[in-house]
Amino acid sequence: MIYIYTLFFTILFGFQSAVAALPECKDQNRKPMRENNRQVLDWKRSSKNQFKSRALIVGELKSTILNRGSHLHLQVDLFKDIGDETDTIDHIEIVYNKSFGNITNLQPGAEVVACGDYITAREKAGNYPPSPMGAIVHWVHASNNPQKHSSGYLLIDGELYGYEGDGEGQVPGAEFNPYAWFLF
C-alpha cells in the first residue's frame, strides 16, 4: 500500500520520497498543516526580523552551510510550486539540532521536507547572527515537551530525522499521520 502512495506522490508531484509515513506537522494553533512554501517565502520577503510561525516546506538540498558540533545548517532551495524544479524561487536555512540524531551522507540534490518553526532572520538578534539566507526553519525534531511546543521533523531522501538521541522514545506516536502524502 505504501508503494501505491509513493507512486501516486511521485507521479503527481515529482518527488520520490516515501512520504506516506510522515509525522503530522502542526501549525501554531496545533492544527494539522499542509506544505506552505509560498507563505514561507512571503514571510521571508515581507515580515519583520524575528517574525515567527510554523512551516512545512518541501525543497531540494543545495549545500551544507555550517556543520558544528551541536547543529547542522543546511541551504535548501524552495519551489513556488511543488514538483516544478525549474521554478526555483528562493533559499531557506534549515537548522538541525544533532542531539536528536546524526545525519549522514548528505548530497546536494537530496529531497527535503522540513516541519518546524520559521523565523525571519535578516538581522542579528541578541546572540544570534543573521542567516545567510535571511530566514531559518528550526526545531525540526521531536519536542521534549509536546504540550508546550509542537514537534517538528526533517525528512531527507525519505529518511526521517529528529527522533533519536534526545528525541528517543518520542517517536511520532499520536502525531503520526499515515496519510501525510495527501496533505500536499
Give backbone dihedrals phi and psi of 98, rounded to 5 degrees, phi first.
-65, -15
pLDDT of 183 reads: 44
pLDDT of 84 reads: 54
Burial-class residue 126 by CB neighbours within 10 Å (0-12, 13-18, 19+).
Answer: exposed
pLDDT of 170 reads: 57
CATH number, domain 23-175, options 2.40.50, 2.60.40, 3.30.2410, 3.20.20: 2.40.50
Q: Give mean pLDDT in consecutive 10-residue pieces for the chain, a chain of 184 residues.
A: 38 44 84 93 95 95 93 90 61 94 91 96 94 96 83 92 70 43 42
Secondary structure (H, E, C), 17-62: CCHHHCECCECCCCCECCCCHHHHHHHHHHCCCCCEEEEEEEEEEE
96: helix, strand or coil: strand
**Prediction pTM value:** 0.78
Q: Are 72 and 96 in contact (CB under 8 A)?
A: yes
Cell of 91: 533559499
pLDDT of 145 reads: 80
